[in-house]
Chain A
């Protein structure tokens, strides 16, 4: 029984709670709805208060926007780079923490998760300064490195969660049967981690793609899709930005729904197995 039986809380508090939820979700969704509506307004600045009629034209305007397209390509390039860096780093960190017993373990762990507790702009700034010392100025490379600093912490935590459920005796059994360490790694450890590598890659990609604070401080003169959106919001704002919003909303709703359905199914399966 995962939830508390209804009579543990009075009926009146149930009603209050329901009203509260409705207000909260209205607060969460109304602004997004306004943003979507303004994307179809035939008016030069994003607005719902001045309605000039329905139009699809901002989709066309966005499709013609070359800076947006280069931003998208840059975003994807950075995200791929981040995956390539954060997978091995996160994996190595997770192995180190789960398998390396030493009194520095706690400190090491603290350092490796610290990027998650550091403001994004600081990661951007410090990476920029660090690489300038080495003669590399801000660009896609520094942006990818800065993002990978904290995204590796995410992937590490995901790998750690998976490794905690691993039966270490499997590896020992394989070694006992004469496998080399490399063979054990390839045949036992990696297959076990495979599903996590997949989900961690998706998370890493999304985190990188969505990032603004770290990127804007480390990308120098280049731009990503998200930093370009950011600068459009300050200068030259048109409903084309709302169209991007519409695209993001549609994608998010789709994937979030799939995710929740998948999660519920997993939960039910787990419950069925448990009894």
Chain B
């Protein structure tokens, strides 16, 4: 099995008057674990169904392995789709499910049964072949769906939120398992999800999507540490926000005038003086400052409460109806009282100033 690269060229999809996907260009490398991350209804599933061949683009072209897929049906494409509902055939055994694609390709019973066994071993279900899907647990069904899709030796595996039905523990376990399978097989994975945790832990690269438009395509690190839009910044990971107008621009960043005073941060998009902007700071990059000395980028706030998340605590602060959050590692914690006045702050390199735009509502 060898992965293939995928290219979307000026692809758009309209349903009647509704544009589900605006003209989009995207290149996915062979053998990559690529996630498309976005809220529900953003068009990510539409893209997946188009790559698999269940939908035809209104304009543009899909190329797989450099070949145009126009006019080629889902059964003829080198892709396999794992459905959100998994779509295991309930009246067939697990082995028959896995062997289905091979049977359809006319493979004789003996070889296809061997091949199915091989794949069931790969997903650690070697002894479950004679059961029906109903008799398996959620995680096992998940693995059957993967084995079934891999049986036809696809160059590209398309996964439509396949973990959404599982409980948290299992979901986390399945993440590493999926990653392992992807590495072992070398198949290109396109993974659709609205869960940023899934996207960040598994992927090589992520495309963040909003309302039919891809906002950013980058490696996981860059998507998290250097979001290019306000939407990406708020959709992937949590952020503290300070709205205002850019007052001053210099070579190493910008100063933004907010209701908490002047704050300094980086200016990756080179916004000019006077433009409306938001400064974002990740909670783990914020600190609670001790002592009365006011440094740069300091904000006076009232302590509200704390949530113990295990490895870290999430401290909540309030000021003027705005909420702020600071993460501290669970070591030598100082305790605060509700209503206590505190000062929080951040290093100017941790502040990202981006143009005002639509935020993810979470």
Contacts and interface: CB of A to CB of B under 8 A. Distances in A.
A237 to B, nearest CB: 52
A66 interface: no
A71 to B, nearest CB: 50
A7 B74 CA distance: 8
Interface stretch (B48-56, B141-149, B244-252): B48-56
Interface string A1-34: 0000101101000000000000000000000000
A12 to B, nearest CB: 12
Range of interface residues on A (Cβ < 8 Å) = under 10
Interface in B201-258: none
B73 A5 contact: no
Interface in A26-65: none
A8 B75 CA distance: 9
Question: Chain B: interface secondary structure?
Answer: loop
A7 to B, nearest CB: 6
A10 B73 contact: yes
A8 B74 CA distance: 7
Nearest to A4: B54
Contacts, number: 13
- Chain B interface bracket (under 10, 10 to 19, 20 to 34, 35 or more): under 10
Contacts of A7: 53-56, 73-74
Contacts of A8: 54, 73-74
Interface in B22-63: 49, 53-56
A11 to B, nearest CB: 10
B355 to A, nearest CB: 33
A83 B55 CA distance: 51
Contacts of A5: 49, 54-55
Contacts of B56: 7
Contacts of B54: 5, 7-8
A111 B49 CA distance: 49
Contacts of B73: 7-8, 10
Nearest to B73: A7
Nearest to A9: B73
A71 B18 CA distance: 57
Best-buried of B53, B54, B56 by chain A (most CB within 10 Å): B54
Nearest to A10: B73
A172 to B, nearest CB: 31
B76 to A, nearest CB: 11
A7 B75 CA distance: 10
B70 to A, nearest CB: 12
A117 B49 CA distance: 45
A5 B73 CA distance: 12
Q: Considering the complex of A and B, which 4 residue pairs feature the smallest CB-CB distances, nearest first?
A: A5-B54, A7-B54, A7-B56, A5-B55
Interface of A: 5, 7-8, 10
6 contacts: A5-B49, A7-B53, A7-B54, A7-B56, A7-B73, A10-B73
Given A7-B54, A7-B73, A10-B73, 10 more contacts: A5-B49, A5-B54, A5-B55, A7-B53, A7-B55, A7-B56, A7-B74, A8-B54, A8-B73, A8-B74
